[in-house]
């Protein structure tokens, strides 16, 4: 049990990790997508032998390299925080969480670092096909890095393939393949990397649109828009598909997150999907008030998307707190046996699990086999609710509903907008009409910050929506934090904020300078 909790330490540790993650994710999605766009462009160069495609490839490769270098620096700092600020978490699940991170470092990172050197410095030193292979392997390596990190994050959302060792009070990996191929991990990886592809596509379209507005590097701009809009349209449609899969997994594995995403407090059969809504900021769980000041919804769509049944019962925040329902089916009579537990009951069982663990360890020390076996049986029976023992009240199991709701809907709105933008830009570019549509070119330029906003909003939904858990149902944030002085975390928070801001400004200045210079061999054409 947590004897004393310094709330300021928790808040500042969370803020520091969020700060680092937000800055890191500014660089990652562009790396994931731009690597493949560059590889596609180089493939066209190798197949056609047209030197203009080589020039185009080199230009976007330069921007990729600038972004890649700074992204690596922020990622290293992010991983160090697991040991500094979240040592209890690292102790509790380090055997599982550390495995994919180790693989990421050994396999994917070395794959990237090996072939990225050939990619940047191997022009005219190796054959065209070998250089092309290096470019594709760099892109694959970058995405493999994302795979292992996302597998680790998905395990935190849905812990599988593990067992708890009461002798060490640690979770240990029992089935690596269950962790790797968890449905949550598969959907999270596909959805996250495809968001990176969309980010890079918007970036390339936006920069190319700026060249068309300035009437510079017209050929580069048009050909880049052709590649990026096709790649972006395909991947944005795939992004919507994987988003549906991810939301389905959330409905099955994290119903509280789904309720927060939709601002749903009182569950119902045939629940509608909110197309647009304004939440009542005074709404509290259990007060009986309508959560929305205004909303427009698609009837029964949430039930269908969440349970593949338009009449399925979707639990709301109140239902999850109070228990006594069976999601996806009939709202079961409380007198029946197969019911969801209330959070209050889960807290009670979690405390039984913690007490059983303490009894087991005392019995082992006293070499009382009978008592240790009984304690172990009680521990195993109640372990699924282990983390609930650390919650102060049932209401502490509720995430920030407004932040989750608005972030989710912003992400969806922008995702639909990107699909439309790619389709229109592709059509006009292929018919040689895009250059005349200056309004659309400006829209394309100003869409660049919007795609980053959408990407960050997705992570807000994923991480804020699962609060208070750092590991779903097993460890809340307050139990994961290190026992350190909050002052040190506050100091490093502001140091990181300053350093990351300087890095971001530096990258933007270098990027802008490089974009203004354009391709090295390029003129005005």
Going from the C-alpha of 447 to that of each of 93, 239, 420, 442, 503, the distances in angstroms are 40, 17, 12, 9, 22
Mean pLDDT of the chain: 90
CB 505 within 8 A of CB 513: no
**Spatial separation of the C-alpha atoms in residues 235 and 241, rounded to whole Å:** 10
Question: Which residues, listed in sequence order, are joined to residue 277 by a DSSP beta bridge?
Answer: 295
Q: b or e along 59-69 (b: 16 or more beta carbons within 10 Å of the residue's beta carbon)?
A: bbbbbbbbbbe
Task: pLDDT band for 4, please (50, 70, 90 cuts).
Answer: low
Q: How many Å separate Cα 52 from the centre of its chain?
A: 37
CB 399 within 8 A of CB 256: yes
pLDDT at position 430: 92
The four Cα atoms 32, 37, 38, 44 give a dihedral, to 10 degrees, of 150
Residue 466: closest CA among 157, 244, 151, 188: 157
pLDDT at position 412: 96
**Spatial separation of the C-alpha atoms in residues 196 and 185, rounded to whole Å:** 16
- Residue 468, preceding peptide bond in cis (omega within 30° of 0): yes
**Spatial separation of the C-alpha atoms in residues 472 and 388, rounded to whole Å:** 10
- What are the residues whose beta carbons fall under 8 Å from the beta carbon of 468, sequence distance 6 or more? 391, 396, 397, 399, 476, 477, 478
User: Could you give the residue ranges of the DSSP H alpha helices within 391-485?
Assistant: 401-430, 438-464, 477-480
Helix (H, G, I), strand (E, B) or coil at 227: helix
Q: Is the pLDDT of residue 3 over 70?
A: no
Q: b or e along 447-481 (b: 16 or more beta carbons within 10 Å of the residue's beta carbon)?
A: bbebbbebbbbbbbbbbbbbbbbbbbbbbbbbbbb
pLDDT at position 82: 81
CB 297 within 8 A of CB 274: yes
Over range 176-204, report the average pLDDT. Answer: 95
**Spatial separation of the C-alpha atoms in residues 420 and 437, rounded to whole Å:** 16
Question: Which residues, listed in sequence order, are joined to residue 170 by a DSSP beta bridge?
Answer: 165
Least confident of 79-83, 99-103, 473-477: 79-83
pLDDT at position 102: 83
CB 64 within 8 A of CB 27: no
User: Could you give the residue ranges of the DSSP H alpha helices within 274-400?
Assistant: 301-307, 317-322, 343-366, 369-382
Over range 174-189, report the average pLDDT. Answer: 93
Helix (H, G, I), strand (E, B) or coil at 324: coil
pLDDT digits (tens, 9 = 90+) for 502-514: 989 988 999 999 9
pLDDT at position 328: 65
pLDDT digits (tens, 9 = 90+) for 201-252: 999 999 999 999 999 999 999 999 999 999 999 999 999 999 999 999 999 9
Helix (H, G, I), strand (E, B) or coil at 264: coil
CB 128 within 8 A of CB 119: no
pLDDT at position 103: 84
- What are the residues whose beta carbons fall under 8 Å from the beta carbon of 406, sequence distance 6 or more? 279
Q: Per the confidence metrics, is the pTM higher than 0.85? A: yes
pLDDT digits (tens, 9 = 90+) for 123-140: 888 999 999 999 999 999
Helix (H, G, I), strand (E, B) or coil at 160: coil
Least confident of 243-257, 306-320, 334-348, 452-466: 334-348
Percent of the residues in the chain that have a pLDDT greater than 70, as a whole number: 95
Task: pLDDT band for 329, please (50, 70, 90 cuts).
Answer: low
Q: Is the pLDDT of residue 112 over 90?
A: no
Over range 349-357, report the average pLDDT. Answer: 94
Q: Which is higher by pLDDT, 376 or 329? A: 376
Q: How many Å separate Cα 490 from the centre of its chain?
A: 25
Residue 26: closest CA among 426, 338, 451, 417: 451
467 φ/ψ angles, rounded to the nearest 5 degrees: -60, 145
């Amino acid at each position: 049990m947590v004897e004393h909790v310094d709330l300021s330490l928790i808040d500042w540790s969370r803020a520091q990790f969020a700060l680092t993650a937000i800055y890191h994710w500014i660089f990652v999605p562009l790396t994931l997508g731009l690597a493949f766009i560059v590889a596609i462009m180089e493939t066209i160069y190798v197949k056609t032998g047209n030197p203009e495609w080589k020039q185009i490839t080199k230009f976007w490769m330069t921007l990729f390299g600038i972004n890649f270098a700074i992204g690596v620096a922020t990622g290293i700092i992010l991983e160090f925080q697991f040991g500094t600020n979240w040592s209890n978490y690292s102790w509790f699940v380090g055997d599982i969480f550390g495995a994919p991170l180790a693989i990421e470092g050994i396999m994917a990172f070395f794959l990237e670092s090996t072939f990225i050197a050939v990619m940047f410095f191997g022009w005219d030193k190796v054959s065209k096909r070998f250089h092309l292979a290096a470019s594709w392997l760099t892109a694959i390596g970058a995405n493999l890095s994302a795979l292992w990190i996302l597998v680790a994050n998905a395990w935190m959302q849905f812990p599988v393939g593990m067992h708890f060792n009461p002798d060490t009070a640690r979770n240990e990996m029992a089935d690596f393949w269950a962790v790797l191929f968890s449905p949550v991990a598969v959907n999270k990886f596909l959805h996250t990397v495809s968001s990176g592809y969309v980010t890079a596509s918007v970036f390339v379209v936006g920069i190319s649109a700026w060249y068309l507005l300035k009437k510079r590097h017209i050929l580069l701009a048009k050909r880049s828009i052709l590649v990026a809009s096709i790649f972006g349209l395909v991947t944005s449609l795939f992004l919507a598909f994987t988003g549906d899969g991810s939301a389905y997994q959330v409905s099955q594995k994290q119903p509280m997150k789904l309720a927060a995403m939709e601002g749903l407090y009182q569950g119902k059969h045939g629940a509608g999907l909110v197309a647009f809504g304004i939440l009542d900021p005074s709404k509290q769980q259990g007060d009986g008030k309508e959560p929305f000041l205004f909303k427009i919804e698609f009837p029964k769509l949430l039930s269908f998307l969440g349970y593949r049944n338009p009449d399925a019962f979707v639990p709301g925040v109140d239902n999850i707190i109070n228990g006594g329902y069976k999601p996806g089916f009939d709202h079961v009579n409380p007198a029946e046996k197969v019911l969801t537990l209330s959070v209050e009951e889960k807290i009670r069982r979690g405390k039984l699990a913690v007490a059983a663990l303490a009894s087991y360890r005392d019995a082992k020390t006293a070499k009382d086999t009978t008592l240790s076996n009984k304690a172990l049986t009680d521990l195993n029976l109640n372990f699924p609710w282990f983390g609930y023992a650390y919650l102060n009240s049932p209401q502490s199991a509720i995430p920030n509903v407004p932040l989750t709701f608005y972030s989710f809907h912003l992400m969806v709105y922008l995702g639909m907008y990107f699909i439309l933008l790619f389709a229109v830009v592709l059509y006009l570019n292929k018919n040689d009409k895009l250059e005349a549509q200056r309004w659309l070119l400006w829209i394309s330029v100003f869409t660049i910050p919007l795609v980053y906003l959408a990407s960050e909003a997705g992570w807000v939904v994923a991480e804020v929506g699962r609060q208070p858990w750092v590991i779903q149902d097993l460890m809340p944030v307050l139990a994961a934090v290190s026992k350190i002085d909050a002052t040190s975390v506050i100091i490093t928070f502001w140091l990181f904020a300053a350093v990351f801001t300087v890095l971001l400004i530096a990258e933007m200045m270098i990027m802008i300078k490089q974009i203004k210079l354009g391709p090295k061999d390029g003129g005005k054409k």
